[in-house]
Structure 1
Amino acid sequence: MNRYNFLCLLYVTCGSIFYGYDSGCTTSILGYPAFIEYYKLDSILIGAFGSAYYGGAVLGMASNWFLPDRIGRLRSIQIACVLGIIGISMQTGASSFAVFCTGRIIGGYASGVIFSLCPTYASEISPPEWRGRVGGIFSIMVNASYMVTEWIGLGLSFVHGDSAWRLLLGLQLVPSVGMLVGSFWMPFSPRWLALKGRYEECCDVLKKMHGSGHDDDFYLQEYHQVRAQIEFEKEEKLGLRTIIRRPSYRKRIYLVVALGFFMMMSGIIAIQNYQVIMYNNLGMTNTMALTLTAVWGTVGTFSAVMTTFFFDKLGRKPVIYISYGLQITGCLLVVTLWARYEAGHSSNAAMGKGVIGVMYLVCLGYSGPMNAFIATYPAEIMPTCIRSAGVATAYVVMHCIMIVIVQITPLALEVISWRFFLIFLIANAIFVVILYLFYPETKGKTLEEMSALFGDEVAETLEEAGMHVKDEKQQTQHIEMSIS
């Protein structure tokens, strides 16, 4: 990978900062009494303002079924950045709950477009051996931004009045403005260019991204393979309608739908978004609750860093098995210890601290591996003609389930407390079985070679593309010798 390719990938992975910071705001702001009092929030309204953001995100993600293929990955990001600036400004200056929620919906829409589009964009400009690490960097970005938000949230909690929570919300402008400015130095996706028949530009971008300056074979092989696969898909008239006609395309959609569903049924969003409420229920003060929330973000960032080292080395599935081992253990201990805490066990305070401790085990298992998996796997297994739609589908399903969980969790914690987490424990066990039976390993393959994993024809393997490049070079040398 050359320096230019690395900088482009770094820009694309910054798309997760939108989501990480916004999610952090949703959590931390519940620890600000001034915010609760300003809008006179109860359990229903707390769920509503969380759902407003995620509802907007679903609409943004659904836009990726058609927008990125029509106007391009880069132009979609630029439009979303502008909308994000508008939505964040409304949230920051809102004098009524209606205006605040409207801003949350617009900001959520922008975040949804960018968060679910950047994995597609990243996969299309990554060398095959780097896609897992790029997913890991994506995970680091989302967790690190969440962590920074929580520490900022803790610091601002010592500021009195409405300025604290308005400043916390206003800082969401930083990633929006930063990505908008950075976008003017970014290239179009080479595979989108090929999809539009702009092959010369596609080749130029691949050369700039993957040309080493010493050995041009790889970028030329990649170009041949991309062009052959795109032309094959156009000749076969493959596209969104193929999802209905072709079993292999349907299987890919089933896999990404299941992934999005079971990721949210892990229980992570119930714990993460309502940590402050849970810590208070377990006997923690408001300041301690915000401190523990910041620690949660730190643990998640550590998990993401570790995932980046192993995601390409071990493969996708082994890392996710480790992830679910930690999550299932953590969920089981949350249920057990919380039940004993509410039963008035003799060591009640210790039980409460035990629940908090094992919540971090869930965070450690989920934050790095699962954020890397959703950022990598759907984009890998989808062909170019439906890649943005397939990735968007995974995120849409994920966030539809998230909306339900965000809305019902405050009430569920009030009414059934620890019993709520039994649902997530069972769901986690089910997904491990599904993962083992149906999800193929994708480590080390080019995007165009993924079709073979699902029984589809690969127009040209990388080796065959290499032979074409070799033949072309020999022909060129022969012509040059003849002229001389």
Structure 2
Amino acid sequence: MNKYQLLCLVYVTFGSIFYGYDSGVTTSILGYNHFLEYFTLDSTTIGAFNSAYYGGAAVGCMLNWYLPNKIGRLRTIQVSCITALLGVSLQTGASNFATFCTGRVIGGIACGIVFSVCPTYASEISPPEIRGFIGGVYAVNINFAYMFTEWIGLGFWYIESNVSWRLLLGLQLVPAVAMLIGSIWMPFSPRWLILKDRNEEALEVLKKMHRSTRDETFYLREYHQIRSQIDLDKRERLGVRSILSKKSYQKRLVIIIGTALFQQLTGVIPIQNYQVIIYQRLGFSNLLSLVLTGVYGTIATASAIMAMFFCDRIGRRKLVFVAYAIMISASLILVVLWARYEASGSTSRGLGIGVVFSIYYFSCGYSGPMNTFWPTYSAEILPTSIRSFGVANSYLTFNCIIILLVQVTPLALDAISWRYFLIFLIMDIIFIVAFYVYCPETRKKTLEEIEALFGDDVAETLEEAGKQVEAEAAVGTHAHVEDSDDLEQHQHVRVQEMEKGSSPCV
């Protein structure tokens, strides 16, 4: 990986910090009496403003049915950043609950856009051997943002005025402004450029990103493979409409939507977003609840760092099996200890502490492994022509389930307490069986070669593309090609010929 590609990948994975801070900010302010009293909040209105945010995020995902393929992945990120500026301004300066909710909706739209387009963009610029690692970086950033929000939320708790929650909300501007400024130096996705027949630009981007001293011609082979696959898809008229008739596309869409559905049915949102309320129910003070929340975020970040290094080493499937082994056992411990805590008349401090540790144990399974797996897998198993549409639907499902959970959870905790989490335990068991049967391993395969895992044609492997590049260089120049610069010069000529239709793309 060269420095330019590293900077591009750092930028695109920063989108998870954008989402992580915005979605996590409400966890801490639920412990702020000034905030609760200012808007006169109760279980219903708390659920309402959380639902408003995730409702906006669902709308943002739906916008990604269209925007990333129409204006490009990069322009879509810029649109989300500008939208966020308006949403954060309304939240920070809100003088009534309606204005605050409106700001949360607009902020949610921005996060829905950026959070679902960044995995698509990242998968399209990542080398196959580190694509899981990049998904891991995405997960680390999400959890770091949560952790940062929770610890800074603890610090602002000591500010005895409405400045505390307004300042915490206002800091949502930082990731949005940073991504907007950084976008000036970012390239368009090379696969999107080829999809739009901007082949010269795509070749230049691939050269800047993937050319290295170890393999001078990798970017040329990759260009050939991408171009061949997209041309094949165009000849067969494969696109979003093909989902209705092509079974392999249907299967992939069902997999990523099903994964998003069951990922949220692990119970992570009730645990993560309402852990302050849970800790208070277990007898901990407001201040200690905020401290425990910060510890949760720290453990989650450590888990994500571990998963980041293992995703490409052990593969996607083993990572998920590890995740669910931890989450199922953690959920079982949580239910048993919480039930015993309530049976004791809520007097056993040790059982309450045990519930807290089961929550931390759960985080080790979800925050790292699942947060690494999902953004990686949901983007890489889809072909370029429907990647942004499919990923958007996956994240739309993700947010729709969250809307339900954030609205219901405060009421469910009041009504059935620990029994609520039995639902998630059962869902975990159902999913891991389905995952074992239907989800193939994709480790270290190029995005184009993953087509074969679902029974579709692969226009060229990287090896075949390399042979084709060498053959075309030798025949096209009628001379011996002595170095990669000659090969590159000839490839530019070939691109121009392809665009004029003088020779077919293979």
**Same fold, TM exceeding 0.5?**
yes
Contact 2:473-2:481 within 8 A present in 1 as well: no
The residue number in structure 2 matching 1:334 is 334
Does 1:172 find its partner at 2:161? no
- Please give the alpha-carbon distance, in whole angstroms, between the structure 2 residues aligned to 1:246 and 1:346: 56
State how 1:3-42 maps to structure 2 within 5 Å: 3-42=3-42
Cα distance per residue 1:300-349 (max 9 Å; x no partner) = 00010000110000000101101001100110011000000000179711
Change (3 A) 1:481 1:453: closer
Q: Which residue of 2 aligns with 1:312?
A: 312
- 1:378 offset after TM fit, Å? 1.1
Would the alpha carbon gap of residues 320 and 78 (structure 1) be closer, same or farther in structure 2, given more than 3 Å must change?
same
Contact 2:143 2:304 in 1 (8 A): yes
User: Where do residues 27-66 of structure 1 align in structure 2 (5 Å cutoff)?
Assistant: 27-66=27-66
Contact 2:316 2:441 in 1 (8 A): yes
* 1:199-242 deviation digits (Å, cap 9, x = unpaired): 11111100000011563221111000000011111111000011
> What percent identity do the matched residue pairs reach?
57
- CA distance, structure 2, for counterparts of residue 109 and residue 175 of structure 1: 15
Partner of 1:273: 273
Matches within 5 A, 1:55-454: 55-213=55-213, 215-344=215-344, 348-454=348-454
In structure 2, how many angstroms separate the alpha carbons of the residues matched to 1:352 and 1:213?
57
Instruction: Note if contact 1:82-1:180 (Cα within 8 Å) is conserved in structure 2.
Output: yes
- What is the identity, as a one-letter code, of the residue corresponding to 2:104? R
Distance 1:313 1:14, change over 3 A: same
Residue 27 of structure 2 aligns with an amino acid whose one-letter code is T
C-alpha distance in structure 1 between counterparts of 2:346 and 2:418, whole Å = 19
**Contact map agreement 2:319 2:373 (CA 8 A) in 1:** no
SS at match of 2:469: helix
The CA distance in 2 between the partners of 1:111 and 1:74, in whole Å, is 15
Range with bigger deviation, 430-439 or 214-223:
214-223
8 Å CA contact 2:474, 2:480 repeated in 1? no
User: Per the alignment, in what secondary structure is the counterpart of residue 319 of structure 1?
Assistant: helix
Does the 8 A contact of 2:49 with 2:101 survive in 1?
A: yes
CA displacement, residues 169-199 of structure 1 (integer Å, 9 cap, x when unaligned): 0000000000000000000000000000011
SS at match of 1:479: coil
SS of 2:80's equivalent? helix
Structure 1 SS opposite 2:30: helix
Map Cα deviations across residues 230-276 of structure 1 (whole Å, 9 max, x no partner).
11111110000110101000000110110010000000000100011
State whether residues 243 and 250 of structure 1, in contact with CA within 8 Å, keep that contact through their aligned partners in structure 2: yes
Q: Which amino acid aligns with 1:238?
A: L
Question: Contact 1:217–1:469 (CA<8 Å) still a contact in 2?
Answer: no
Counterpart Cα distance in 1 of 2:462 and 2:168: 49
State whether residues 474 and 481 of structure 2, in contact with CA within 8 Å, keep that contact through their aligned partners in structure 1: no
Q: How many equivalent residue pairs?
A: 482
Match of 2:465 in 1: 465
Per-residue deviation at 1:64? 0.8
Q: Deviations over 1:83-141 (max 9, x none)?
A: 10110010000101101000000000001100010000000000000100000000000
User: What residue identity is the alignment partner of 2:180?
Assistant: L
Mapped partners of 1:160, 1:481: distance in 2: 73
Task: Tell me the secondary structure at the aligned position of residue 447 of structure 1.
Answer: coil
**Uncovered stretches (5+) of structure 2, i.e. residues with no partner:** 483-506
**Alignment check: 8 A CA contact 1:300 1:364 kept:** yes
How far the C-alpha of 1:476 sits from its partner, in A, is 5.5
Call closer, same or farther: CA 1:411–1:263 in 2, change over 3 Å: same
Q: CA deviation at 1:373?
A: 1.3
SS at match of 2:167: helix
> What RMSD, in angstroms, separates the aligned Cα atoms of the two structures?
1.3
Using the alignment, how far apart are the partners of 2:178 and 2:49 within structure 1? 26
Structure 1, unaligned runs of 5 or more? none
Instruction: Give the Cα separation in 2 of the matches to 1:384 and 1:54.
Output: 27
CA contact 1:88–1:172 (8 Å) conserved in 2: yes
8 Å Cα contact 2:229/2:459 also seen in 1: yes
Distance in structure 1 (CA, Å) of the matches to 2:187 and 2:450: 24
Amino acid corresponding to residue 379 of structure 1 in structure 2: A
